[in-house]
Structure 1
Amino acid sequence: MLNPAFAKAKHRFNAIAGNQLVLMAALLLDASIRHFSLHSQSAAEFLRIVLQLLAESSPLLLAHYFAARFAACTSVQRRLWGAGLIWAAGFVLYPLCLFWLAEQWQAYAVWTVFSVQGWLLLLLASGGYGLSRWLAQRNASARFQLISRLFSLNSVLLLLMTAWAVVWAGIFASTDDPVRNQPLQAVIDSDTVIVNFEYFLHYLWQFLLMGSCVLLICWLNRYLLIRQLLARNGVFAYIAGCLISIILLTPLLSAVVLWLPMNIAEFTFLPSQDYNIFAPTNFRFCFLILLISTPVILAFERQQQEKALAEVAQRQSQTELQLLQQQVNPHFLFNTLNNLYALTLAGSAQAPTLVLQLANLLRYTVYEGQNARVSLAQEIQYLQDFLALQAIRSGDKCQLDVVWPTQAEQWQIAPLLLITVLENAIKHGVEPSQSRCSIELSINVENGWLRMHCVNSVPATAGQRLPGIGLDNLRRRLNLLYSGKHRFSAEQQTGLWCTELTLELEPC
């Protein structure tokens, strides 16, 4: 059992880590590129670059976090403008101020490591995170499912290959005679690229062709070797297929790379760096691509299969929950209308009050009851309204002893769970009784666990009773919503019906 403060802290940490993960990856990538361009092997220098980038980029990280939190916690009408303003302040206004300061102050320009390159990487990371979250919330329609396919493994590989080609084309276009001036500084001079744009395009298509050769091996591995040979014929057929692919593809693709104009007499862009398409280094490079891509493809294929199975299971669970909910609500409405009918026949002045209380209960059922979670305070208020309504019907016949939890607003629960226990006590303990009866209800929260204890008297003429449809539905809903996180028991003792429910709550 988790302490409430610890549970909230853990939930908050997971939220922050998930939010900042992609931005930290972009920041470390920028730091690695800068460290590589310095031709330094010093760990202290790399750490200095990382810490300085982290300090200079902290407003962007904060803007990304608070924009995502604002979008999740506010109303739909305010989300777009509020989150957009927060994000723009961090990712547009702040970088522009830094670039302006670097132009005006030479000492700062020498010191800073925040550049257009790092800004674009963080911008892409933040935009990709926001788009993925947006698609995850709207993947029901065919249009959004089509957009989601753009983020498939093939699309990601194609995007990475294109980005790799653009970066290296920019580096080559920023350097005079780059093939002969090795090693190169991993720096892109945007002014030089614009002036020599035809050189950029000249290098770009060649790097794209080299990247396409690598993608061809990956796609062959995925669609032919893994999906056909490995899935249908086993591991030995897969190994044989890999061996055949390496032997046949290596010289063929090596010949394609040698056709590129970037190659010179003393240097080529083959892994062997010579003109021998049958060099062992070329075969080892092809083997390395298969070796690296295979576990990635297998992991992605398994994740896609598990996602599809989870979606099917979720749809089945949602359908079953809706059916159970449709059984619970009419049962409660039927009992309440019976009470209203009896009071109307008797000409009771309490009938209008009963109608208002019934309206409040139905409003909660219709609007809040359709949500996945509500605050425990809302659910407790619903129980209190229900008891007030029943008190009009039963009068002084029922002695009620109730204990409510404190700080219920700190926790959330699935709606319309607890009412089943109380409704069952009213239906089988109060309504059939011709004499005084009693209900003891205790609800408390301890270390994130809710404990509900309900004991109601049973009329002597009732005999041994069996659980009804209400309790059966409750058990099924608990198994669907709180699998492994609840305990439930309901049994008849001497003159009493005892119900115990314990379940793990979630912090708000």
Structure 2
Amino acid sequence: MIWLLGFIAYPALMYTVNTVFSQFANWHYLELQGWILCTGASIIWLISQRTITIQKSLITQWLSSLISLDNVVLIILFCWSFTIAGVLNTHDNPLLNQPFALIFEPSKIVSQFSQFFAYFWQLSVYAVIIYGLYLFNRYILIRHLLATHGVFTFVAACIIFIAVLTPLLTAIVLTLPINDLPTSIANLTPSGNQNIFSKYNYQFMLLFLVISTPIILAFERQQQQSKFNEIAKQQVQTELKLLQQQVNPHFLFNTLNNLYALTLTKSDQAPQLVLHLADLLRYTVYEGQKPSVPLAKELDYLKNFIELHKIRSAHQCKFNLVWPSNSETFNIAPLLLIIIVENAIKHGVEPSSDAAAITIKITINDNILTLYCANPIRPKMAKNKRGIGLNNLLRRLKLLYPNKHSLTTYEQEEIWQTTLTLELSK
């Protein structure tokens, strides 16, 4: 939006104003050089955004390092030295014929290369000095003094920095051949004369600190924020892995106990139970570590889980099941739905010796999945707080599906009902 306002809306507005009102016929805020600078800035920004979004290859890593603040400052100073050297090279004795037009003729770089190079290396000395001042400000004054010792120490150091370095650096610049001029001719110092203690030299140094410090602080803040975001992302991933590892320990222990009992009685159901358990563990170990899985696989996992419980509970539990028919095109975070089903069996079947009925209904409307689960509970259980399983589920939903889920639980006539809705991705 900002780019469109600057490059489309602003020129259109200026064209309209210049056309309609004669008094604004020559009113321009930006000349060609200004538009070139803005376009260059836009290209650098686009490259920086591109290197963030695309996969990190050697080329993108190189581009990312190239557009760091230090390198950008160095490139700008190099381009400035090259450009001003070309401008000076275009004119005959430019410093003796001031003011001179900012005209750059590339052909004269070849025809008068020795003169161009003489200008270029001397202006490069200016660039090195300014770059050194920038590095000193960023890594000594800001990162060390301001960050460690506070604002007052930073301001005091800046005053000393200006007082000591200004005449010293001005004296170094005056030794360059480009400034070997009569005293009546303005030289390439902020004051334009031979006085190293001129107030204009100090004003330039102060202006440099005033401009560079907020820019450096902005980039430092951005770097710190990027590091904090990366750390937060890693913490989220670590928390998700820990939450996934909490899934099913109760179920696994109970199933192994049932398997032990079946093997003691040499039941024919023992091999089938082992097979279902192996499928469940295989899914948990391999698919459960992925960020997302096909919804059809997650539903197969639920079906295996329910079939295993049918073997375990024999005639103690009756399942009323409804499965969606359009699950092939959607993905879902693994091991989410199982928590609700496992809770229903844990609290609806295992505490009671009577037969129990559990309803599990999963539907998909557009890309919204709805899981409805109902199980009987003892009256006093409804007053208990949510267990580890549901707290685990709530935390994972918050991390994985922010603003894309809802989870409601309520008790009615000794039936605990849970409804989960998820906005799925294809």
TM-score (normalizing by structure 1):
0.60
Contact 1:343-1:350 at 8 Å conserved across structures: no
1:169-208 matched pairs, under 5 angstroms: 169-173=85-89, 177=93, 179=95, 180=97, 182-185=100-103, 187=104, 189=106, 192-194=108-110, 196-208=112-124
Q: Which amino acid aligns with 2:169?
A: L
* Closer, same or farther: CA 326–249 of 1 in aligned 2, 3 Å: same
Whole-angstrom CA distance in 2 between matches of 1:207 and 1:331? 74
Whole-angstrom CA distance in 1 between matches of 2:105 and 2:421? 61
Q: Which residue of 2 aligns with 1:470?
A: 389
Which of 315, 322, 325 is the equivalent residue of 1:402? 322
Which of 296, 300, 303 is the equivalent residue of 1:387? 303
* Closer, same or farther: CA 479–392 of 1 in aligned 2, 3 Å: closer
How far 1:417 moved relative to its partner?
1.9
* Closer, same or farther: CA 474–255 of 1 in aligned 2, 3 Å: same
Whole-angstrom CA distance in 1 between matches of 2:189 and 2:29? 34
1:254-273 matched pairs, under 5 angstroms: 254-263=170-179, 264-265=181-182, 266-273=185-192
Contact 1:402-1:440 at 8 Å conserved across structures: yes
Question: Greater CA deviation, 292-301 or 490-499?
Answer: 490-499
Whole-angstrom CA distance in 1 between matches of 2:424 and 2:127? 48
Which of 163, 166, 172 is the equivalent residue of 2:82? 166
How far 1:122 moved relative to its partner?
9.2
Query: SS of the residue aligned with 1:372?
Result: coil
How far 1:424 moved relative to its partner?
2.0
Contact 1:272-1:281 at 8 Å conserved across structures: yes
Q: Which amino acid aligns with 1:293?
A: S
How far 1:183 moved relative to its partner?
1.5
Q: Which amino acid aligns with 1:218?
A: Y
How far 1:346 moved relative to its partner?
4.0
Contact 2:332-2:425 at 8 Å conserved across structures: no
Query: SS of the residue aligned with 1:455?
Result: strand
For structure 2, list consecutive stretches of 5 or more residues without a partner in the other structure: 12-24
* Closer, same or farther: CA 154–458 of 1 in aligned 2, 3 Å: same
Whole-angstrom CA distance in 1 between matches of 2:122 and 2:415? 83
TM-score (normalizing by structure 2):
0.69
Q: Which residue of 1 aligns with 2:337?
A: 418
Which of 221, 234, 241 is the equivalent residue of 2:137? 221
Q: Which residue of 2 aligns with 1:321?
A: 240
| CA RMSD in angstroms, aligned pairs only | 5.0
Q: Which amino acid aligns with 2:102?
A: L
Q: Which residue of 1 aligns with 2:221?
A: 302
How far 1:382 moved relative to its partner?
1.1
For structure 1, list consecutive stretches of 5 or more residues without a partner in the other structure: 1-16, 29-39, 54-116
Query: SS of the residue aligned with 1:218?
Result: helix
Which of 427, 441, 459 is the equivalent residue of 2:361? 441
Equivalenced residue count is 394
Contact 1:379-1:416 at 8 Å conserved across structures: no
Contact 2:363-2:370 at 8 Å conserved across structures: yes
1:210-289 matched pairs, under 5 angstroms: 210-263=126-179, 264-265=181-182, 266-289=185-208
How far 1:343 moved relative to its partner?
8.6
* Closer, same or farther: CA 132–165 of 1 in aligned 2, 3 Å: farther
Q: Which amino acid aligns with 1:347?
A: D
Whole-angstrom CA distance in 2 between matches of 1:343 and 1:122? 71
What do residues 463-503 of structure 1 show as CA deviations (whole Å, max 9, x unaligned)? 97664432232233334445676554545553222224456
Identity of aligned residues (%): 39
Whole-angstrom CA distance in 1 between matches of 2:398 and 2:190? 57
Whole-angstrom CA distance in 1 between matches of 2:325 and 2:26? 60
Whole-angstrom CA distance in 1 between matches of 2:161 and 2:189? 18
How far 1:211 moved relative to its partner?
1.8
- Larger RCO, structure (CA 8 Å, separation 6 or more): 1
How far 1:253 moved relative to its partner?
2.0
